[in-house]
Chains A and B, each alone.
Chain A
Amino acid sequence: MKRSWTRWARAVTVGTVGLALVAACSGKSGQDSGATDGQVTLKINFWGDFGLQDLKTKYEAANPNVKIQLNSGEYNAQHEDLQKKLVAGSGAADIAAIDEGFMVQFRSQSDKFVNLLDKGAGSYESKYLAWKWKQSLSADGKTQIGLGTDTGGLAMCYRTDLFKAAGLPTERDQVSALWPTWDRFIEVGQQYTGKTNKKFIDAGSNLFNPILGQQQVGFYNEQDQLQMEQGPKVAFDYTIKAIQAGLSANLASFQADWDKGFTSGSFAVLACPAWMLGHIKDTAPGTQGKWDIAAVPGGGGNWGGSFLTIPKQSKHVDEAYKLLEWLVQPEQQIEIFKKVGNLPSQPALYSDPAIADFKNPFFTDAPVGQIFPKMAQGLTPQYLGKKNGPTRVAVENVLIRVQNKTLKPEAAWAEAVKEAEKASTS
């Protein structure tokens, strides 16, 4: 007994010494490079291309005490990283971009973000699309956690060469006239598949989401109760109808087969928010001039769009707000639109000739500066519940199972309701 005690005591002593050594070696590495001689480094986290590269140089030249660090990552990874940093209490960027789809999740943690209203952002309210302003406002309306950058808008991109081969009109106004409603859209699709024996749309879920986006009420009402029988049912029924008519190529967005579909003609039409144009251009550069953009059936609609927020953890809140404010000014927003196509969410800019007269050469000179603003303005704001993301995934999964023929279309709605309920309570 005696012996074992002293052994333990030794082990502990040695351990402590070792710990001290480790601690000594690791000291002073976490120093923040921020505030030496008034120099401030601001880190911006976002995904894809926000068109910030040139703006960074411009801002740094005008503000010699500020260095901007652009950190572009993968879309989901950035949001999850932000969530983890918020929980951990440190490490988040000075300015964090948040997408519409994740906004509800972060809005409910508004105490972890700088309230931009305190910084005087209230004066921007009138400049924004009303629903865009509301999307990043906390439930009690007292905390504004972000300022909107771009908005998706909605239109339909289509392949003129494939339409021509199927004997359909190719001129964009005539195509828009083909499908005033989703019923007509499905009929056009049947015509197309009947003639060519090819699929018409890329995926059922990419039909479901735009239709759902057009409904008054989405998955949840303002009390965060699941409302499957209204908006979701309408969108679901149209989608099942289209799948049964054999229109869907059953591809998953942003996957290899989908990307390949742009060049191989696996589908002829897909729902196109403004930011999608850049993706098509990058994925299928060889199809230049074969695409055009028509109106979306059933009027307006929105898909995507982002916000810039300042987490409270930021050590340079004032400088970050100054930069954020600068980024959402008309001049910068127009430059971003021209550079990467992201449509600003301040309607006053839509009449600016720089946007209104802009035509996209890749899409047969489609007047994108006309099409997308019109869609964004004709929009009824829809409340996205806290559990909107998981619920959407659950219903999309049911649609995929129908497309995979592992679930019968007749049984699909009951299954969708069941899965949505599960997702809403998980």
Chain B
Amino acid sequence: MSTTRAAPASSGRRAAAGRHGHGTDPDHRRPSWRDRLYRFDMRYMPYVLIAPFFLIFLVFGLFPLIFNGVIALRNYRLDDPTLTGWAGLANFRQLFGDDDFWNALYNTFGIFLLSSVPQLLLALIVASLLNRRLRAQTWWRVGVLLPYVTPIVASTMVFSVFFSRDFGMANWVLGLFGIGDDDPINWRADKLHAWIAIATMVNWKWIGYNALLYLAAMQSIPRDVYEAAAVDGAGPWRQLWRITVPMIQPVIVFTVILSTIGGFQLFIEPMLFDLNAQAATGGPNGEWQTIAQLIYKVGWKDLNLGYAAAMSWALFLIILVVAGINTLLTNRLSGGRSR
């Protein structure tokens, strides 16, 4: 330890001595402006250029994160200003016995599975289709990105009407096949139907986005690999799974992490799907209340900010764990080539 402490001090002294000696040292050529600029450019410019990100992250990312952690350890109720002070781990302890939290976690997980898995699989298939020679190729490629460009609130509100019980298009389409003629599906009455409806909205928005990411990765795969495979008699399906997927594996891992984070923070879709949106209960019995929604409810409806902060931290940890597990799994499934 003593050496590490001494080191910066001595280096500082030496540096100071060196700087002082510039003028007097006859051997040392006085650096010109050009040299200084050049040195500044080489040494410091990268830091200047990446600094804005870290500064903004400090202000809008790290600080709120830490502040949130502090609040999580306090009593902080807007409707009862007298109740303040440290709560210790009480907020976190309350979490374990809270049925609403576990229900929300279950819902979040369910919707996440129903959205991420089909979403990434379909994106893969869409990307491999776009990767072929097509007429109006650019049109198709831009086209799949359109849902992503649509404002999420707008599309969710359209879907909310789409899945309405009495005059919704979803039930009308199902009715064409004779499903639910007398007793139309009430999309908001039970978990499964609600989950499917919400997962549909998520998938619709993100399939195109992921497909373009995959497409970009696929473009870097050399053609001759496919040609060789075709010569060996591998069909398109086999080529997709045996060549494309392993070769774009880092991108797949990336999209899995992205969709994990997004899926666990799911908020706007379940929020606006609710007929009584402002209550943030996610259905009459919390059928599709996600964790993000529950945090919002606890914070801004029950006005219990301390507990909401604790939930946010719990969500953060859960995302870390799930994203880690997903990365491991994806790595395994696609051949573990990224390392």
Contacts and interface: CB of A to CB of B under 8 A. Distances in A.
Interface string A1-24: 110011001110011011100100
Interface stretch (A49-57, A142-150, A212-220, A395-403): A395-403
Contacts of B301: 389-390
Given A255-B164, A398-B284, A400-B284, A14 B7 contact: no
B279 A393 contact: yes
A5 B7 contact: yes
Report, as a range, how many residues of chain B touch the other chain.
35 or more
B34 to A, nearest CB: 21
A87 interface: yes
A87 B78 contact: yes
A5 B11 contact: yes
Give the interface size bracket for A toward B. Answer: 35 or more
A235 to B, nearest CB: 17
A404 B8 contact: no
A159 interface: no
A198 to B, nearest CB: 13
B302 A426 contact: yes
A359 B169 CA distance: 40
Interface centre among A11, A266, A407 (most CB of B within 10 A): A11
B285 A6 contact: no
Contacts of A389: 301
A132 interface: no
A184 interface: no
A83 interface: yes
Interface in B256-306: 275-279, 281, 284-285, 298, 300-304
A84 B161 CA distance: 30
Interface stretch (B45-53, B108-116, B140-148, B213-221): B45-53
B81 interface: yes
Contacts of A14: 44, 47-48, 51
A408 interface: no
B284 A83 contact: no
Given A14-B47, A401-B285, A256 B52 contact: no
A308 B35 CA distance: 67
Contacts of B285: 397, 401, 406-407
Given A2-B11, A18-B48, A386-B79, A397 B300 contact: no
Nearest to A15: B51
A120 to B, nearest CB: 27
B129 interface: no
A109 B47 contact: no
Contacts of B81: 109, 111
B164 A257 contact: yes
B186 interface: yes
A83 B275 CA distance: 23
A290 interface: no
Please indicate which of the listed interface residues B4, B78, B298 has the most CB atoms of chain A within 10 Å of its own CB. Answer: B78
A252 B276 contact: yes
Contacts of A71: none
Interface in B34-93: 43-44, 47-48, 51-52, 54-55, 78-81
B316 interface: no
A403 to B, nearest CB: 9
A76 interface: yes
Given A11-B47, A15-B55, 4 more contacts: A10-B43, A111-B81, A406-B285, A426-B302
